[in-house]
Structure 1
Amino acid sequence: MDLISQLRAFQPWNEQEDRDREALLRLLENGQAFYGREDPAHLTTSAWVVSPDRDRVLLAYHNLYNSWAWLGGHADGERDLLSTALREVREESGLENVRPVSRDIYSVEILTVDGHEKRGRYVSSHLHLNVTFLLEADPAAPVRRKADENSAVAWFSLEEAVSASTEPWFRQRIYSKLNAKLAGFPPRRD
């Protein structure tokens, strides 16, 4: 299913998701949402990685933002954003066995990114047109940091995951929402 169809099928959780979903659809339908990062508004994907019992969340300490945060990255031309989210989690955490709880979109966000230096070059301020997926992994599996992007990777309780972030808007509007939405995804008992 293409991204426009996925977004049309997506049921917003709150007003933020409703408005961001509508804006994403307008951009995509007008050919203005881009899969490459050269444009000032481009597609990204994030993952809310939870334990099978839904009690823990995996975060990375992102060097760029100096904060504990979800995992994810740029589409970089890839049209399958779920595959991109899975790849990014594997690259950023070292986890080998990570799987979708659902193949459906979990959340949508339009995120502002201030101008910054990356690998010695200036990156202009831009928008991340973000699609989030709910993934799960075993907290007992080994994790490792990706030195050029993060300085640590760790599991947190749901509450700790929210408070670990130093970004107030993410704590209040994104991470709290992602945790609340977990109620619709019962724990897996294998």
Structure 2
Amino acid sequence: MQLIETIKHYQPYNEQEEKDREEIIRRLESKENLLTRENKSAHLTASAWVVNKEKTKVLMAYHNIYDSWAWLGGHVDGEEDLLKVALKEVKEESGIEAFPVSADIFSLEILTVDGHVKNGEYVSSHLHLNVTYLLEADENAAIRNKEDENKAVAWFGLDEALLKSSEPWFVEHIYQKLNDKLRKMKDI
């Protein structure tokens, strides 16, 4: 299924996802180049909420640019298979092999990225049109950080992960939502 069709079929979890889904679809339908960073104002990214088998812990990385514990993920850089991107990013950023709990989208969000310096070059503020997947990994597998992107990688309990992040908007609007969705899945 084509990316735009997959996003159109995604059932938003809350108002934030509903509004962000509408905007992502609008931008995809406009034929704007969203697959590469050549679009300086907005581009697609794929993130992963990586949990252990029991779904009681989440894997997070201490992100260099944001100076905070955060989920794993990155730019799609021309790849239309966003699940493939999420899996690749987890492997690159943590050294761990993760597997999809489902091939379905777990969450959608539009994220603001403040201007920052990366690799010695200024990157202007822009939007990440983000698709998140729920992945599972062995919490006992060896992990490592990716020095040019993060200082550390570690497993945290679901609530502990929220306390570790120093990005209030992400905690309140994204990470809490992901944990809520995960807990509802466990109740099924």
TM-score (norm 1): 0.95
Asked whether 1:178 is paired with 2:173, we answer: no
Partner of 1:68: 69
Task: Write out aligned runs for 1:17-166 (5 A).
Answer: 17-32=17-32, 34-39=34-39, 40-95=41-96, 97-166=97-166
- How far apart in 2 are the matches of 1:10 and 1:166? 29
**How much does 1:33 deviate?**
5.0
User: What is the alpha-carbon root mean square deviation over aligned residues?
Assistant: 1.1
- Contact conserved, 1:24 with 1:33, CA < 8 A, in 2? no
**How much does 1:184 deviate?**
4.0
- How far apart in 1 are the matches of 2:176 and 2:75? 23
Partner SS for 1:8: helix
- How far apart in 2 are the matches of 1:114 and 1:88? 21
**How much does 1:185 deviate?**
3.0
> For residues 34-70 of structure 1, what are the alpha-carbon distances to aligned partners after superposition, in whole Å with 9 as ceiling and x for unaligned?
1001211000010000011010000000000000000
- Contact conserved, 1:33 with 1:43, CA < 8 A, in 2? no
Percent of residue pairs bearing the same amino acid type? 61
**How much does 1:32 deviate?**
2.1
One-letter amino acid of the counterpart of residue 21, structure 2: R
> For residues 134-180 of structure 1, what are the alpha-carbon distances to aligned partners after superposition, in whole Å with 9 as ceiling and x for unaligned?
00001000100000000000000000111111000001000000000
**How much does 1:27 deviate?**
0.6
- How far apart in 1 are the matches of 2:29 and 2:18? 16
Distance 1:158 1:33, change over 3 A: farther
Partner SS for 1:156: strand
Partner SS for 1:185: helix
- How far apart in 1 are the matches of 2:184 and 2:172? 20
Gap runs ≥5 in structure 2: none
TM-score (norm 2): 0.96
- How far apart in 2 are the matches of 1:4 and 1:126? 21
Partner SS for 1:68: strand
